[in-house]
């Protein structure tokens, strides 16, 4: 009888642990796109449901949703993104109050200073929605950079969310 009980526990315990503590569960995250409000370009949040359990997996899901861009309905409602469609997420690491997001070099393509500022704020706001990420460190192709693009938007240190929503 003990062997049968032990065998049942050995078989059932791993799936039960996975189900209760490891499996990704649906969570709601915010993704920040751009929108014109009262004649000024600013950020606007939309929600997405991602499957995640840890802060890093929530961040990863939020950034993937950000890079996917607004839906057709959101575009019709005036939401847009300054992040180039070719930009891909390489990695996300969270620790010590900072979310480090590593993006492909496409993040630097095109745009002007306003577009680059919008990109940075979209990335920062999407990452700092989580209490464990008070600032975002932007990496490009795994490397720290002084600035984003040729416009000189400084990204040489972790960037916290400002008190007021920026306009650009």
Domain range annotation of the chain: 24-160
Per the structure block, which two tokens stand in for 12?
């059932």
For 58-82, give the DSSP string.
HHHHHHHHHHH---HHHHHTT-B--
**Average pLDDT of every residue of the chain:** 92
- pTM as predicted: 0.88
- Residue burial 128-164, b: 16+ Cβ < 10 Å; e: rest: bbbebbebbbbbbeeeeeeebbeeebebeebbebeee
Of 47, 51, 43, the C-alpha closest to 31 is 47
Judged against a pLDDT cut of 90, whether residue 120 lies above it is answered with yes
Per the structure block, which two tokens stand in for 89?
């997420």
Task: Give the span between the Cα atoms of 120 and 140, in whole angstroms.
Answer: 12
In this prediction, residue 92 has a pLDDT band, given cuts at 50, 70 and 90, of very high
Judged against a pLDDT cut of 90, whether residue 1 lies above it is answered with no
- What is the pLDDT at residue 97? 97
- What is the pLDDT at residue 47? 98
- What is the pLDDT at residue 9? 66
Q: How crowded is the C-beta side of 79, counted as CA atoms within 13 Å? A: 19
Q: Tell me: the pLDDT tens digits for 11-56?
A: 766 765 556 566 678 999 999 999 999 999 999 999 999 999 899 9
The predicted model gives 134-153 an average pLDDT of 93
């Amino acid at each position: 009888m003990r062997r049968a009980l032990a065998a049942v526990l050995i078989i059932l315990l791993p799936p039960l642990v996975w189900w209760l503590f490891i499996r990704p569960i649906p969570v709601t995250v915010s993704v920040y796109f751009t929108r014109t409000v009262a004649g000024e370009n600013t950020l606007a949040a939309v929600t997405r449901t991602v499957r995640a359990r840890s802060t890093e997996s929530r961040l990863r899901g939020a950034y993937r949703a950000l890079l996917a861009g607004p839906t057709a309905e959101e575009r019709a409602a005036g939401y847009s993104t300054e992040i180039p469609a070719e930009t891909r997420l390489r990695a996300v690491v969270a620790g010590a109050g900072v979310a480090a997001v590593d993006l492909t070099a496409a993040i630097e393509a095109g745009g002007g200073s306003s577009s680059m500022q919008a990109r940075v704020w979209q990335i920062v706001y999407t990452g700092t929605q989580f209490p464990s990420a008070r600032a975002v460190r932007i990496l490009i192709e795994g490397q720290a950079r002084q600035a984003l693009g040729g416009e000189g938007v400084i990204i040489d240190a972790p960037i916290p969310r400002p008190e007021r929503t920026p306009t650009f």
